Amino acid sequence: MRKQGEKMEEVRPRIRVAGILVENNKILLIQHHKNNKKYWLIPGGGNDWGETTKQALIREYKEETNLDIEVDEFLFFSETISPNKERHVLNLFFKVHRNNKNDDNIQLGNEAVLTDLKFVTKDELKSITIYPNIKENLLKIVNGEKVGNYLGSLWND
């Protein structure tokens, strides 16, 4: 949010990195509970100053899921811009895999907003609320199909 007296060019979008982990035709999602709403996200988080997107994704994945991952490739990005222009997030989505597929140590991180972590099927994905709404791309990825690089601005109310 812009502070009083701050020029528009001093305000920068937040960068959020997210790792798409697909195993056995299921995708790993994490549930958040904020402002009396529950919704699902691709695990990930904010990019800190001086940290590469790859470093940020590995760190955030460990914090949220307790998994050690490797980043395979950049897949696509979207933006979320609130109607009042107070929030602007660049969402960068990467394909990831576990370092050790036999690692059963998936564990929900301890941030208060995190409420669930699980692999969901394609059918489950169709019926849940996910932010930003990238369901079509996720279904394509689970099916092994290509997706476009830029999804535009996606804002969920």
Least confident of 8-12, 25-29, 91-95: 8-12
Residue ranges covered by each domain of the chain: 14-153
Q: How confident is the model at residue 4 (pLDDT cuts 50, 70, 90)?
A: low
E strand residue ranges, the chain? 14-20, 22-23, 26-34, 37-41, 44-46, 69-81, 88-98, 114-120, 150-153
Q: How confident is the model at residue 2 (pLDDT cuts 50, 70, 90)?
A: very low
Per-residue pLDDT reduced to its tens digit, 36-72: 999 999 999 999 999 999 999 999 999 999 999 999 9
Per-residue pLDDT reduced to its tens digit, 93-114: 999 999 887 767 899 999 999 9
pTM of the model: 0.89
Q: How many residues does the chain have?
A: 157
Architecture (CATH level 2) of domain 14-153: Alpha-Beta Complex (3.90)
Report the sign of the C-alpha dihedral through residues 34, 39, 42, 43, in that order: positive
